Amino acid sequence: MKILFAVWEIDPFFKFGGLGDVARAFPAALKDLGVDIRITIPFYKAVKLGRNRKKLLCRLRVEYAGRKEKVEIYEVAHPLNNVPVYFLKNKKYLDIVSAADTFAFFDKAVVDIVKNNSLDFQPDIIQCNDHHTGMIPLLVKENKLNIKTIMTIHNLAYQGFNSKEVLDKLGIEHTKSRLIRWEIKRRQINFLMEGIIHADAVTTVSPTYAQEIMTEEFGMGLEELLRGKEGRIFGILNGISADTRYKYHGKLNTCEFVQRKSEFKNNFGEHLKFFLEKKRKNKLLLQRKLGLRATSKLPLSCFIGRLDPAQKGLDILHKMIRKVIDSEDNQFVILGSGNIDWQKRFEWLYKFYPKYISCNFKFDEGLAHEIYEASDFILIPSKFEPCGLIQMLGMYFGTIPIAHRTGGLADSIKTYYNGFLFDRYSSVALRNTYERAVEIWKKDRKKFEEMVVNALNTDFSWDLRAKEYRELYEKLISGSI
Ligand code: ADP
């Protein structure tokens, strides 16, 4: 079984968000199951190869915008798992990301490479990820290649609109399909939509999100199209493979729990005392580092994520914190980058309560890990969340999630077991749930500690998910889907 995994980011070479984590860890788990999986990604100037050696595999010409462009393929073995990564180099289109051409050109290059057998690796399936790779399924069809395609939706909110001229550049006739004619009328091409239409199967990153995207509330305008694909849409939860990645912690020398965690395997109950003591120390270390009042007596809750007001629930989070912070009975840590307006609003809270809220507006993985290791709760008020890795990472570090019941949050958190979910998207619902959680933290330590053990024991490893994907690949190849 041979799979080519096409993606626009991969940790640690070029990481932008959660998809970069997925591209690092998911293919590795499939490789462990015996699947021959390889990754392909543009070779941007910003790619950091570090000490990893690249090998030039071949050169070819890719026709785009009426010209034959030179593309070089470099192979690098992923440093954490040895999965081959093929970097495609082209100065004009792939050096720097441009919305107009980079992804259209990359998609064309991927399909040309497979068509010409340039890699000596003929995939049975190309797995495309998000809109960046959305033109691949159509190009595979156009070239009549005997290869199946999967379109994996990580976030429907980003669809990749492009001008209709891109079709000319790709050499696709405008009259090819009814849909393209309709798109042409709108004078725009929607890459993700093309991917959904032409792929043999569509997957998304949690079972709940697979249902949600068929509704008007979450479908982002594509719900009807998605409903028409029912039976070919599969929701498989993402996972985390924290063990290898979080070894980087050692360098920080502040928070140390995770270094011992792997020794305990799935038996944290016995080691709970050790763990709680570490967590208590971590919290004091972090409070001091961030200038918060250093005390074990107050619950410390964190928010880690992109400051995206359309998705991440910043409005209800801010309102909830505003309501509870003046009692000076709670502490909060915010780590995020993005929207400047929201940065200012959170910063304003800091001005009044510097000992009770810490605002960190940057992308800092080291700090993120320290926060996971030190906090009692992680707040995830997202309006929608296709999967969400933060709740899994939180639980991996024994930090209890308080989250909106949506998408992957609904599929990974069980109230009173390993976290707390609230149903209605409102600051009142968030606040009520937060206060209930804090009440347990303060007054029912036995219950709280039981929940911490459950969170630590919940298995979010990629191994489980990879098996589900392998089954899907088998069905696709055998033609039973
Ligand atoms: P999304 O993909 O919507 O950004 P996810 O929950 O799937 O959200 O993944 C977010 C990932 O990025 C997690 O690994 C989280 O720890 C990390 N992250 C988000 N914001 C920051 C930040 N400001 N600094 C460091 N890591 C961050």
- Does residue 42 sit in the same domain as residue 123? yes
Asked if pLDDT for residue 13 goes beyond 70, the answer is: yes
- Does residue 164 sit in the same domain as residue 293? no
Radius of gyration of the chain (CA): 23
Provide DSSP, 295-364: -SSS-EEEEES-B-TTTS-HHHHHHHHHHHHTTT--EEEEE--B-HHHHHHHHHHHHH-TTTEEEE-S--
240 within ligand 1 shell (Cβ under 6 A): no
What is the per-residue pLDDT for 369?
A: 87
Q: Which residue has the higher pLDDT, 178 or 333?
A: 333
Residue 259's pLDDT band (cuts 50, 70, 90): low
337 within ligand 1 shell (Cβ under 6 A): yes
Residue 182's pLDDT band (cuts 50, 70, 90): low
Query: What's the chain's average pLDDT?
Result: 92
Mutate to test the pocket of ligand 1, among 10, 365, 370 (most ligand atoms within 8 A of CB): 365
Query: Token pair for residue 184?
Result: 């042409």
- Does residue 231 sit in the same domain as residue 247? no
Mean pLDDT, rounded, for 124-134: 98
Q: How far is the CA of 18 from the centre of ligand 1 (A)?
A: 6
385 within ligand 1 shell (Cβ under 6 A): no
Mean pLDDT, rounded, for 165-184: 77
Q: How far is the CA of 250 from the centre of ligand 1 (A)?
A: 20
Read off the pLDDT of residues 284-320 as tens digits, 9 standing for 90 and up.
999 999 999 999 999 999 999 999 999 999 999 999 9
128 within ligand 1 shell (Cβ under 6 A): no
- Does residue 290 sit in the same domain as residue 169? no
Mean pLDDT, rounded, for 394-403: 95
Segments forming the whole domain that contains residue 395? 242-460
368 within ligand 1 shell (Cβ under 6 A): yes
Q: Which residue has the higher pLDDT, 470 or 256?
A: 470
- Does residue 208 sit in the same domain as residue 284? no
Within 10 A of 457 (CB to CB), how many other CB atoms are there? 15
393 within ligand 1 shell (Cβ under 6 A): yes
- Does residue 248 sit in the same domain as residue 362? yes
- Does residue 224 sit in the same domain as residue 250? no
- Does residue 310 sit in the same domain as residue 386? yes
- Does residue 365 sit in the same domain as residue 225? no
What is the per-residue pLDDT for 250?
A: 46
Residue 274's pLDDT band (cuts 50, 70, 90): confident
- Does residue 282 sit in the same domain as residue 225? no
List the single range of 12-21, 106-115, 118-127, 394-403 with lowest mean pLDDT.
12-21
Q: Provide the 3-class DSSP secondary structure of residue 264.
A: helix
CATH number of domain containing 436: 3.40.50.2000
What is the per-residue pLDDT for 180?
A: 66
364 within ligand 1 shell (Cβ under 6 A): yes
What is the per-residue pLDDT for 67?
A: 97
- Does residue 124 sit in the same domain as residue 165? yes
Number of domains in the chain: 2
- Does residue 377 sit in the same domain as residue 471? no
Asked if pLDDT for residue 245 goes beyond 60, the answer is: no
Q: How far is the CA of 231 from the centre of ligand 1 (A)?
A: 31
What is the per-residue pLDDT for 257?
A: 62
pTM (predicted TM-score): 0.93
16 within ligand 1 shell (Cβ under 6 A): no
Mean pLDDT, rounded, for 328-340: 96
Ramachandran quadrant class, 63 (left: phi over 0; alpha: psi -120 to 50; beta: rest): beta
237 within ligand 1 shell (Cβ under 6 A): no
Q: How far is CA 459 from CA 238, 239, 462, 472, in A?
A: 12, 9, 9, 21
Mutate to test the pocket of ligand 1, among 389, 397, 411, 460 (most ligand atoms within 8 A of CB): 389
Atom 11 in ligand 1: residue holding the nearest Cα: 18
What is the per-residue pLDDT for 252?
A: 46
What is the per-residue pLDDT for 260?
A: 65
Mean pLDDT, rounded, for 38-52: 96
